[in-house]
Structure 1
């Protein structure tokens, strides 16, 4: 990593070259991501995606809750409408009954007033008509009647008291019913609070479930890390066991080597003894051969026959060998054809790899062409308008200057420098058309756009041709290096570049300046010298040039066309070689059949020879007695020779075993070092895993703390639910008490009715007694005059009127009580403020119809309206939450798109810059050749891998994995330095980067470092002497005395200036 911020790359650590060599294309992009600084965009994108998943999850849950709530709202809306209708009907019933009661109250009041008037009239007539002597005579009877009347009134009062008590009991029952209704409503409200508390409890438990889910995920991650740590510990133990095994094997190999050396010395002694014994037995064999020679003369005749047979056998074998030689020649020809086919296939593969690399480069260049990369905003606007409607107002546009100007690729940057901003000019045929097109656009262009028009024939040539000066530093006139393929603009190179010369270097340019005759000068390195002496210099960015890009695109397309032709030619050649290969295989098969026939003949002759040899052995058996001594001597000699050969073989084998055991010991030492490195790697991985495990455990503690908080909240909600349920149970108990009290009141009604019946019986008896007294009084005064009879009649009328008045008063009381008990309406106080309708429903038909309407509504929830309001509020809250989540989701998607766009732009910018530097550095390190960087998937630059295609001088193009070791290392170094050049730093630490380079490549590497050191200070950690030799200062640690370390520094300039004196720091 850089260690100095996202815009620098100042530390190239030890082993980074090896890691780059071993990296896959996907892993290799990490180097470019660090250089481009896009890691934060990828992290932001991943974090936004995780948040987007959570938002989608919340949206899904909210959608489910909203769907359920919509169903509840729909049901509540229907119940609320039903409750409203029921209340409306009940209000209509109430109004109709109150109107009817008011009507009855008014009629009863009118009747009671009339009765009181009639009673007053009768009383006045009775007082005026009653004579005094009748009063005296009838005093006794009147007293009796008065007494009976007093008894009657007492009975009536008792009856009235009982009636009032009954009315009070009924009123108490009605109030109990009202209390029960109020209790039921309170109980419903309590149950509603319980439901709301349950809802909050469910929400809390849902949140707690989310925390539990997160806790489980973290727990799974901790388990995974724990398992990984355990696996890494096991791997570490395995590596340590392997290390112990390798140590044991090394010790065993050393022990084996020692034993082999001892055995080799013992075999040397045995072989020397066997050689002495062999020389002694050879003397015995020579003596035995003299005896055997005399015995072999008798076998000459058989040997002559065997000689003839051997001649024939030799001829057969020669013919067989000739056939086999012809077969081998055909096989070699077949192998040659096969090698040719394989070579063509390899060349085709190389061309395909090159075609793939060039195809990727062509796609990049064509993508830049399609997006008009490098052009100004105004130029892009004009091109977009022209391409949108080629036959419209912009039909006079012929394209860009760069599209029609053809230049060689090596001169394209220099000509583009000479053209300047004119390289982005647009070719148009007519000025008036351009002026009209500019007037037709609705809004101004986003930037400036320049146009070039054909030269007018009538125009005077103000810039007459001036011959350039003669100088060896002039390469060519710039106008001669370009041509325009458009017939109307064929003079463009001369018009635009006629006064520009391409010169060798800046020194030649300054020499030509006094002789330039108005010419501007461009050096091959990109320095610009105006005709008036102005100088412009600096690095020339080839990749950013439009002409360079188009020239490279043309070369890439031409090379692709050449590769296509070469591929077709190779296909034809491959088909020809394949046909020749098949013919050679057929000839090989024919020769194989002839060889088989000759082999059969040779075997037949061999059998004849064997038969004659058998006869010869018979003869030899006859001569065996004479040759026994020679055979015994030869046997002993053969045994000694065999033993000597065996000892020699064993000695050689033992020497080989000694060498192998030494090599095995060396191999075991190497494996031991590798095992030590594996143990260190396992310990490092274990430490990283344990660090991650500790971080996850910290996160787990935080989540557990949040879960405990959630748990406390849920417990508080559970307590609240318990309290609400307790209140509901208390309310139910209270309602039960009122219900029992109501039952008790209903049970006391029969007693009131019995007492009332008894009082009515007493009243009837009192009335009978009173009637009897009045009858006696009537009989007593029957004889009186008509005045007494009239008085009696008036008294009866008065009594009837009093009874009627009492009945009307009771009716008025009943109406007043019913109106107040049923509707809390005071007839006596509020009737004066109420208007009675003209058409009154006196028969109750309307009330009965309204009652039937209320019954048809069925069971009605009177709290439905309140529930609907609460559900509507919750629905609105859910809607707001979903809108917030959808807005958050849109924001996350926009953030992801912005991160992808910015990351892609940054990555592609750095990638193209690194690719250009990589091509240059590759040529410098290899002294030529070509190298390209290509994206595996150009459509997905943020995630695809990066392929390295290199073509060293004199070799075919190949990927990094197919190159040799030295070439791969140098290519990786070139890539690292290309990244460093793209993200330069004032200083850079190179930690043993040259460890894998040989001496020749180290020299090229140090030469490149010297070039880089003009702008960057390098700190190298190295063991190569040639790398140390290129440094300005050497720093080291030495142990001047045991246990004491001393820092030493040597400046090579001071060393050379002081004649080799050492400078200590």
Structure 2
């Protein structure tokens, strides 16, 4: 496989489509600096899938697109294409069948990146996988750009391992291992999720089993309830029709009595209307007389009130005249007082005005004094600031002198310290002991690391065993727990059904309980084969309790079924061999031993019904045969056992379930404890493994650090002597500098003392000036205070004068108001004197006339009232008779209405029962008599509707006791079983997949170790061969850093001819470059890449080394095609073809090709 063409368009400086032909085995790219040669290397890296813009010398990936130049616009996209000749078919995979392979990458400014192989769009991963293991790739060793040679030498051990893995073809194994680990992690996550789903499904299944049992019972009860309701509705429908006919007959009889009573009421109503009209006329006449009498009485009262008011008004006028005279006297006194107050206030106001004028003159004088003090204070303040500035300047100078003196002293002390350190450092140390200690520590750490690794493998083996045991313990526990949960659910369902009002607790209704609280079923253990037979025989006695000898429940008996045993002694004679007593075991302290022996006395066991019937003649007295199915056969006949009473069979089943739960509980607890113990052991072992892993990593890091310390220590020992000679030279120079610094320090100390004296004198002068300034400021403050006092006193005097003026105005207003009041009272007295009395005698005569007319009207009113009373008596008698008829009327109406309501209720009830019955059967039948003939037949022998209602209510109560029933539980249970089977198949498949993936990872690790070991040994041998060739001597080797081949790093040890350097970092730039090239050529010899790109790797080499490099390059070109960039003449001469890159147009690169083998002077563009 050979690279034939490199095509670029819009990539960095290659603005136009450029084709670089690569026909030879050695092609050199030449040109001046900055013309775009390295852009060819970047283009190859980019098309191979480089995703880091930093590796392409940019900040963003769009930086690779041509950004324009003078006279050229920026490109919209960039693309690069590599064309390979695969005629030899060396490239494997799906593309190996093509003779020519083209790889292309395209990027737009919108960020869309596309990859193509032979024109087909592919993924970046496809291109990476195409070159896996060939050394060509983003992180391969086939593309060596500028600075990469140095990075190879300075690389960490794990980075160097990457180059060897690429040469060994391990990279594709690592990629497969990474994918396998990812799949393994996903598979384990699926397993965990599947385990959670199975756990959830198990819980749901248990719930669904209980719900399915409840649903089946619910359906049975619903069917029975529907049958009872049909019969009850049919019977009530027929009864309602009969009730409607009887109610209609009663209604017609009551209607006839109602019509007769209504005729009597009509006659009485007419008579009452006539009497009511007569009574109304008499009442109107009486009301007219009453109004006239009331009018006369009102006029009489009004006249009497007027006479009384005239007398009272005269008395009030006399009192008002006396009050007016008193008010006039009081107003005269107030006027005299106001005149005196006005004179006093006017005098006080004049005095305050004179005082304010005096205080204003004093304030003006104080203002003049304040101005003079302010000017003096300003002068003192300026002097103080000047003195302070002078003092600060002097202090600053003194501080500078002091700092210079301190600096000189510090320099002297530092030089003395450095001199002492150099003297101490110049002593020769013996590093032999340290070297021996490092070697001893290295051996101890290596032994400890191997010991920890052995312990870790032992613990991992132990953990695998414990995990297997834990899985077995968990499976056993879950099996027992699953069985226990099913039994508990069934027992709980039976307990809910039996614990209903239909089966009340007999013992809780007693005033006192029997002797024991335990039941028989709690003390007995029955063989599995005979358990059903024993339950059928004992029935309700399974729940029997042990009572006292003289126990009696009393009358009336409590509701519910119950049984009890009295304490009895065991019989003397033993039971026969086939007796039931041998199949039943009682607890040691059970009080039921004698009673159970009596109950089972004479009960013999037969294996089958046929055998019991054939041996019936062997029975004596009260003996019976009992079969495992519960059938009983005596000499008189046989009693076959069916399902029995629901309560008895449920109680028996409940007793059986409780017995199983009691036996299963210790097994479940023991299995759970064993599972927890195994889990704890796994956790402890896993904790120890984690601790050992951490300890192993710490020991590995310490071992690596010790190896590095040993190498660094060897280098330090070789450099010690040169450092000691240099130290002696530094010590002599330091001694001379110490003498000079001592003289400088003494001079600076004297100058500092003189400057400090000058600063103290300036500070004393500043203090004196500040004292004068403080005195002037105190005088200024006193003058300001005096001026403020004068202004405030003047202001107070003016305010008092204004207040007195206002008081004078108020007094004047009061005098004016007083005068107005005097005039008012005088006017009122004059008005009262002008008043006169009315005609009093005429009003008395008029009053006597009104009293006489009032007496006459009162007599006429009395006579009219008597006539009205007679008429009302007749009306009340007639009304009483009418009311008696009305009283009988509601009774007859109620009778009619009640019978009508009874008829309607019966018809509605019949309609309701008919509609209910029709709706229950899906609609009204065409012929009800034919459709419900079976109900008519059943109704002839059915109990009463009330008994049917009680039976239906009992069934509803039983349905209600079931609680919320999931009717879809049966279907859901089937679906859950299907899901469980599906999950189980999935779990099996996932476990097989985990095992297969683990085996694949182990196989990949084994192949990786083998290939890496072979590659490492071969690369080490090739490097030991190429290193002397490039250097003309010397030695180099590769070493593994680590104890495991899967993660061990690779280190380079190189010693050029004549040198014994301890570290490769001590080599020069050219030596590092040759060492790196020897490693690269060793990798190419081991796994030749299709091509190799070198970017100025010969820059640090001299002519001799360049000549050796060129000879080796010619030798390697037989297997690998080289494309390199160089400015070295010798390197250019060794090339078969020259590709010149120029930049005649600023910012745009062009290519010129020359085939040296044909005509060196003929360029090809």
Shorter-normalised TM range: under 0.3
TM (norm. structure 2) is: 0.25
TM (norm. structure 1) is: 0.27
When Rg is computed on C-alpha atoms for both structures, the one with the higher figure is 2
